[in-house]
Chains A and B, each alone.
Chain A
């Protein structure tokens, strides 16, 4: 028996979430391909440069917010149900948060796509960051608010399951899959406070015309209160896969249960008080607060390095159990012919590279070198676009058989897919990083910013070569995405039915929960500490910003 036979109701919810996630992935990914060709001037026949910003918004919102949120919801429904050995407590409630998120998604997507209709008054070309002075149709903000509220309800659903499980198991330790889920969602609750205040308190009244003037700095700051922590909302589920599933796919066990829990706790504590590192170049915020954000950001390197060590140690354990030896030779014993393993492993390698550019972004001084250049999208295509997205695609090859009761089809295509994604992203992202160093800006549709016309001086290579790497890389990524969707749809619709379509057993950690201090499971303690750190980081500067009134444009900077 597999998951769908034991927990048919939860399997249905997971699958419904994955369907929405993959539709968003397909549309958003196609938009990304068009952007890569348009901005590099390779082919500009799909859209005009005005519509480019509509696609840019669609690419960011559909991939970074919709694909991730729905996939994470499906993944966590699977994990909580399985680890607590119980279906959701009330299916009417469970489906209510799902449909709330779907309606919100349709509203936001509708307003974005309205930008492609000539003379349409329904538009939302406000980019992924969607803060003033760019303004969207009210339905865009209301739709996104519904998605966030739905995600809060989903988290409450998992805490409800945990609470019921705790009643039945008062002395048990929190199972590791549920632990990772609950701490991720605690962090999500903390960081979305800023977004909720921004959207409900400022942007919706402004877009409805109830408020005429709005100060840019306050909503911008509230966005980044959420805007970097959301990165960890994407990344922690990828970590969840790397900690819980990747060791088993490698042939080994998770190296340490306690290390896993400590890493998730550190992310809960430090994810939110780092937002100012996106505002190093913003006027109106004291350098001291920016320095505090830099310090907390650099401290976040610690759990990432702990993850690097724990995950590689788990993989090495697997390889050595499969006969691997030596300092490096064991790597060849890893299952490089298993698409789920390959996707996760390559995603991890890309994340290591993204960690370097992240360090540059986080440094207050050296950040100025690459601020607002195409280096930044180069960085987040390594982290979100590969570490997260490729992990999600790879684990789908392992989860889908459990959720459908059908075996994976076209395994060779499934194996080619993560390698091709890695290749495409290597080409595209390295060119973006290097172009950023030469000063090429981000967020522009115009090709002259990618060519020699602006007299950019690359350290090595040529602007033309970088342009072609971005276009070719983007094309390979689209092919990889089509391969993924083809394998998933084929397996889902026509895979061979089986009681045991995949080996879904997860072995115990090498150093198990018996070695884990009980205080690590104290959610109230860690949640309270997280809130205190947020108050330390944000209370005083936010107070300064609203001294002259919440909507007052008197504070700097204000667009003229």
Chain B
């Protein structure tokens, strides 16, 4: 990716990764080490919420009321 190297904040030491040059990074995590279990949990939580809300909309609002404004 051209943009990564084109604007490196530390072009004098290109052998170091971005993580090694960034003081806020405690440890570099490679693709093999990374397990996005938090992401999976949040995604499943979101899906559960929207399914429940859709069921609420369909059975309580749509099933229980006539359409309000059409046209």
Q: Do A and B come from one complex?
A: yes
- Which A residues lie at the B interface, using CB under 8 A? 2-3, 6, 79, 82-85, 172, 175-177, 244, 251-253, 255, 257, 281, 305, 308-309, 312-313, 316-317, 320-323, 326-328, 330-331, 335, 352, 355-356, 359-360, 365-366, 368-373, 437, 439, 441, 459, 500, 503-513
Distance (whole angstroms) from the CB of B19 to the closest CB of chain A: 6
Most buried by A among B1, B65, B71: B1
Chain A residues whose C-beta falls within 8 Å of the C-beta of B41 in the assembled complex: 327-328
User: Which of B3, B10, B36, B54 makes the CB contact (< 8 A) with A317?
Assistant: B36
Query: Chain A residue with minimal CB distance to B19?
Result: A321
User: Are B57 and A368 in contact (CB-based, < 8 A)?
Assistant: no
Q: List 20 A-B contacts (CB under 8 A).
A: A83-B1, A175-B1, A177-B3, A257-B1, A309-B39, A316-B38, A317-B29, A321-B19, A328-B38, A356-B54, A369-B61, A369-B62, A371-B67, A372-B71, A505-B9, A505-B10, A507-B19, A508-B4, A509-B1, A513-B1
Give complex CA distance A327, B36 in Å: 9
User: Are A320 and B34 in contact (CB-based, < 8 A)?
Assistant: yes
Chain B residues whose C-beta falls within 8 Å of the C-beta of A439 in the assembled complex: 68-69
User: Are B61 and A255 in contact (CB-based, < 8 A)?
Assistant: no
User: Are B26 and A316 in contact (CB-based, < 8 A)?
Assistant: no
Give complex CA distance A335, B37 in Å: 20
Chain B residues whose C-beta falls within 8 Å of the C-beta of A244 in the assembled complex: 3
Chain B residues whose C-beta falls within 8 Å of the C-beta of A366 in the assembled complex: 57-58, 62
User: Are A281 and B68 in contact (CB-based, < 8 A)?
Assistant: no
Give complex CA distance A253, B34 in Å: 11
Chain B residues whose C-beta falls within 8 Å of the C-beta of A84 in the assembled complex: 2
Chain A residues whose C-beta falls within 8 Å of the C-beta of B22 in the assembled complex: 251
Chain B residues whose C-beta falls within 8 Å of the C-beta of A331 in the assembled complex: 38
Q: Mark B1-39, 1 if CB is under 8 A from A, else 0.
A: 111101111100000011100101111111100101111
User: Are A322 and B7 in contact (CB-based, < 8 A)?
Assistant: no
User: Which of B2, B17, B39, B54 makes the CB contact (< 8 A) with A360?
Assistant: B54
User: Are A322 and B2 in contact (CB-based, < 8 A)?
Assistant: no
User: Are B3 and A371 in contact (CB-based, < 8 A)?
Assistant: no
Chain A residues whose C-beta falls within 8 Å of the C-beta of B62 in the assembled complex: 365-366, 368-369
User: Are A255 and B46 in contact (CB-based, < 8 A)?
Assistant: no
Chain B residues whose C-beta falls within 8 Å of the C-beta of A79 in the assembled complex: 3
User: Are B39 and A316 in contact (CB-based, < 8 A)?
Assistant: yes
User: Are A85 and B2 in contact (CB-based, < 8 A)?
Assistant: yes
Distance (whole angstroms) from the CB of A491 to the closest CB of chain B: 20
User: Are B65 and A326 in contact (CB-based, < 8 A)?
Assistant: no
Known: A317-B29, A322-B25, A360-B54. A309 touches B43 (CB 8 A): yes
Distance (whole angstroms) from the CB of B20 to the closest CB of chain A: 11
Give complex CA distance A441, B71 in Å: 11
Query: Chain A residue with minimal CB distance to B22?
Result: A251
Q: 4 smallest A-B Cβ distances: which pairs?
A: A439-B68, A507-B18, A368-B67, A505-B9
User: Are A503 and B61 in contact (CB-based, < 8 A)?
Assistant: no
Known: A366-B58, A368-B70, A506-B7. A316 touches B1 (CB 8 A): no
Chain B residues whose C-beta falls within 8 Å of the C-beta of A459 in the assembled complex: 60-61
User: Are B50 and A505 in contact (CB-based, < 8 A)?
Assistant: no
Known: A84-B2, A504-B7, A510-B31. A330 touches B67 (CB 8 A): no
Chain B residues whose C-beta falls within 8 Å of the C-beta of A321 in the assembled complex: 19, 25-29
Query: Chain B residue with minimal CB distance to A172?
Result: B2
Query: Chain B residue with minimal CB distance to A254?
Result: B1
Give complex CA distance A518, B16 in Å: 29
Query: Chain B residue with minimal CB distance to A165?
Result: B2
Give complex CA distance A439, B69 in Å: 7
Distance (whole angstroms) from the CB of A142 to the closest CB of chain B: 30
Give complex CA distance A368, B38 in Å: 37
Give complex CA distance A473, B24 in Å: 36
Give complex CA distance A163, B22 in Å: 35
